């Protein structure tokens, strides 16, 4: 199956369960796609948890069963109303702009990647692809247990499994290899979640007089920011965070729409809207938790100014009315204050007891490569203002996108004068400040304020386009309106707005392609023919792993240092690795062989551990992903044993060798 067909199928796999859920709802196409994407991730996550509890292997149709249950509930809760159009008169134009923008997005991202089967050669991806391979091998697809891949002694260990189950489903449906499915999933998320989600949010936020042209303007702008969707691919690659950030615009739009609908409805129908809206907001929370729960902090950060502005506006109105309305306003303010205090206390409890941020001084924490300050705070502010973003590949920064930057600034100016959207300026400024602190300061205050994002400038920079797209859209529409009012010779301002958006997007895509993004993706997906150095694997190493079934029995694991690529023995060779990631909480047997493997000549405990782990083969390559980490590489025993010549070479490909362990004799019969 060609890569294009796999990518299109990936979009279908991503959206169809959500379409089932939203079928009873009266939504236009853009809103339906945006909400359906979020509902699909929720269905994936719920189905995975159910499968884990029942001990059932994952299958792509399982989310459909959850979706049918969701559609049934939506049918009984949804208000009875006629179908809405809300911009549907421009549906074909929206679809065309969407398609063209999607092609441009894929071109900017993968133009320099010659093979769709290439993988992101990054630290985080060692775990992500190992987890997908585990699910495909019949492992637990539940978010409640996915971390057991690297915590083998645990029964339950939470890690958000939304992205991993999506990639596993794409692989099962298309028959494509996991690397191809992973790249197709990235495209599907960008095209099927991010683009419609941030476009719908823009339409929700801006005045509702021209919803069709708002969508046509916003869609090209959704692919114009380097920080999102591209930044989380070139740094990390942070696939779960990318998924959650792609969901974020829809998760912000849903409570806004719910509040507006509830305020409009009469008493007889308000309970239905309130009930359905409460379920929808809860669904947003759980979908983000299934994708990457730390993005919930971003969700709260962006919505808090909206809530505060709404409360102040309500209090001002009700207080002036006096009497019972004033007392009701006081009770509402008191209740809101108590809610915020409880939420803050809960967040502090989670930070202290679950995340353990106070276990040791903050001065000693958050000092990794993602957190280390490499510029001044002022430079961080300038980076936002110029739309020039770090790529995560060395110190490479994208070229400034000046036209786009000017539109965002113009949108901020217009938004500041519009009570309806003034809160966006505060939310945008908050993200700007946090990014600048993360990128420009190593002080305790900066770590405290940005710690929930790991003080990671890349995670924070990816939030800028969530509100940047609505602001840039407002900049174009506001500018065209003012020029039209002055000149009075422009008869079709909507066409001018659409043309301006297309021009800015074209210039931005050229800047992205030539100014850093395309070359950064090429670097991340670089595949050496042989003798990998800082990459996870080389082509020669993959070839050897694909031959593992010819030598290693199916009931045996493969031992190796995960820093040298052996963690992907299941991904490429259908043989489970002893260590599927470079970082984990390993049981006693794994810890023993990782550190004391050379002692197998003298210490019977080492051979007993190898017996229990079902190991008689070692996969070895003399390199380490990302150059290694002396403090984090706990697998020195594997290297020492190989370099001491203790094992028998069986297969080799370039500098990668498969060895057999003969000193411990044959493995005992597991049934006897």
Q: Tell me: pLDDT of 79 over 90.
A: no
Upstream peptide bond of 488 is cis (omega within 30 degrees of 0) = no
| Best CA proximity match to 202, nearest among 187, 221, 186, 189 | 221
Residue 422's CB: how many other CB atoms inside 10 A? 14
pLDDT in tens, 322-371: 666 666 666 666 766 676 677 667 766 666 655 555 555 555 566 666 66
pLDDT in tens, 216-228: 999 999 999 999 9
Residue 363's CB: how many other CB atoms inside 10 A? 11
Q: Measuring CA to CA, how many Å separate 83 from each of 23, 214, 459?
A: 11, 20, 38
Tell me the average pLDDT of the chain.
Answer: 88
Cα–Cα distance between 378 and 380 in angstroms, integer?
Answer: 5
| Best CA proximity match to 637, nearest among 654, 625, 620 | 620
Q: Tell me: pLDDT of 84 over 70.
A: no
Cα–Cα distance between 138 and 186 in angstroms, integer?
Answer: 23
Cα–Cα distance between 75 and 72 in angstroms, integer?
Answer: 5
| The residue to which tokens 């971003």 are assigned | 298
* DSSP, residue by residue, 577-605: BS-SSSS----HHHHHHHHHGGGGGT-HH
| Best CA proximity match to 69, nearest among 283, 355, 259 | 283
Interstrand relation of 656-660 and 557-559 (parallel, antiparallel or unpaired):
unpaired
Query: Averaged over 52-58, what is the pLDDT?
Result: 92
Contact 42, 216 (CB under 8 A): no
Q: Domain spans of the chain? A: 3-294, 295-359, 377-524, 539-660
Q: Tell me: pLDDT of 93 over 90.
A: no
Based on the number of CB atoms within 10 Å of its own CB, is 308 exposed (0-12), middle (13-18) or buried (19 or more)? middle
Query: Averaged over 153-170, what is the pLDDT?
Result: 93
pLDDT in tens, 570-622: 999 999 999 999 999 999 999 999 999 999 888 899 999 999 999 999 999 99
Q: Tell me: pLDDT of 27 over 60.
A: yes
| The residue to which tokens 């993200």 are assigned | 431
Q: Measuring CA to CA, how many Å separate 204 from each of 128, 505, 590?
A: 34, 21, 53
pLDDT over 70 for what percent of the chain?
Answer: 88
**pLDDT tier at 626 (50, 70, 90 boundaries)?**
confident
Q: Tell me: pLDDT of 262 over 80.
A: no
pLDDT in tens, 98-130: 999 999 999 999 999 999 999 999 999 999 999
pLDDT of residue 419: 86
The angle subtended at Cα 594 by Cα 593 and Cα 599, nearest 5°, is 50
> At residue 28, what are phi and psi to the nearest 5 degrees?
-80, 175
**pLDDT tier at 2 (50, 70, 90 boundaries)?**
confident
């Amino acid at each position: 199956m060609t890569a294009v067909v796999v990518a299109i199928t990936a979009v279908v796999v991503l959206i169809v369960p959500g379409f089932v859920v939203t079928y009873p709802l009266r939504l236009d196409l853009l809103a339906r796609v945006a909400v359906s994407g979020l509902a699909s991730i929720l269905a994936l996550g719920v189905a995975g948890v159910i499968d884990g509890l029942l001990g059932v292997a994952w299958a792509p149709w399982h989310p459909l069963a959850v979706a049918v249950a969701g559609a049934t509930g939506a049918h009984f809760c949804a208000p009875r109303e006629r179908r809405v159009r809300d911009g549907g008169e421009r549906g074909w134009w929206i679809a065309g702009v969407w398609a063209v923008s999607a092609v441009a997005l894929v071109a900017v991202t993968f133009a320099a990647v010659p093979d769709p089967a290439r993988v992101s050669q990054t630290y985080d991806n060692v775990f992500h692809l190992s987890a997908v391979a585990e699910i495909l091998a019949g492992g637990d697809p539940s978010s409640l247990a996915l971390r057991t891949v690297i915590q083998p002694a645990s029964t339950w260990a939470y890690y958000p499994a939304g992205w991993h189950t999506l990639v596993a489903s794409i692989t099962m449906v298309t028959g494509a290899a996991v690397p191809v499915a992973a790249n197709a999933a990235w495209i599907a998320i960008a095209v099927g979640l991010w683009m419609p989600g941030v476009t719908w949010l823009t339409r929700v936020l801006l005045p509702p007089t021209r919803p069709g042209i708002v969508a046509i303007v916003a869609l090209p702008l959704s692919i114009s920011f380097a920080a999102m969707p591209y930044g989380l691919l070139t740094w990390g690659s942070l696939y779960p965070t990318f998924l959650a950030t792609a969901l974020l615009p829809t998760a912000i739009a849903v409570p806004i729409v719910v509040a507006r609908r509830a305020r409009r409805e009469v008493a007889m129908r308000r309970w239905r809207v309130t009930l359905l809206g409460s379920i929808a907001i809860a669904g947003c929370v759980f979908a983000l938790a299934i994708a990457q729960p730390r993005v919930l902090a971003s969700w709260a950060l962006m919505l808090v100014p909206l809530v505060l502005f709404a409360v102040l506006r309500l209090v001002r109105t009700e207080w002036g009315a006096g009497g019972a309305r004033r007392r009701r306003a006081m009770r509402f303010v008191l209740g809101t204050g108590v809610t915020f205090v409880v939420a803050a206390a809960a967040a502090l409890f989670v930070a202290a007891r679950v995340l353990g941020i106070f276990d040791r001084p903050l001065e000693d924490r958050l000092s990794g490569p993602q957190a280390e300050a490499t510029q001044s705070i002022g430079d961080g502010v300038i980076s936002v203002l110029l739309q020039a973003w770090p790529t995560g590949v060395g110190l490479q920064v994208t070229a400034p996108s000046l036209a786009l930057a000017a539109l965002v600034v113009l949108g901020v100016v217009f938004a500041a004068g519009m009570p309806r959207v003034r809160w966006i300026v505060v939310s945008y400024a908050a993200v700007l400040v946090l990014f600048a602190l993360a990128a420009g300061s190593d002080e305790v205050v900066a770590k405290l304020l940005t710690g929930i994002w790991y003080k990671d400038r890349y995670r924070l920079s990816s939030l800028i386009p969530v509100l940047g797209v609505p602001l840039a859209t407002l900049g174009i529409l506001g500018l065209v309106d003012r020029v039209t009012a002055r000149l009075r010779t422009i008869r079709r301002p909507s066409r001018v707005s659409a043309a301006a958006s297309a021009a800015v997007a074209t210039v931005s895509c050229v800047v992205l392609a030539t100014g850093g993004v395309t070359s950064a993706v090429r670097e991340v997906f670089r595949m050496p023919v042989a003798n990998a150095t800082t990459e996870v694997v080389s082509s020669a190493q993959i070839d050897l792993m694909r031959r593992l079934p010819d030598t290693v029995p199916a009931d045996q694991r493969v031992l190796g240092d995960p820093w040298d690529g052996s963690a992907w023995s299941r991904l490429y060779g259908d043989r489970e690795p002893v260590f599927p990631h470079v970082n984990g909480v390993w049981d006693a047997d794994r810890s023993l062989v990782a550190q004391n493997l050379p002692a197998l000549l003298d210490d019977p405990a080492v051979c007993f551990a190898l017996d229990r782990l079902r190991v008689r083969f070692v996969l070895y390559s003399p390199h380490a992903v990302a150059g290694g980490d002396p403090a984090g590489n706990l697998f020195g025993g594997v290297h020492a044993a190989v370099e001491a010549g203790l094992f028998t070479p069986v297969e080799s490909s370039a500098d990668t060798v498969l060895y057999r362990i003969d000193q411990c004799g044959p493995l005992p019969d597991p049934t006897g």
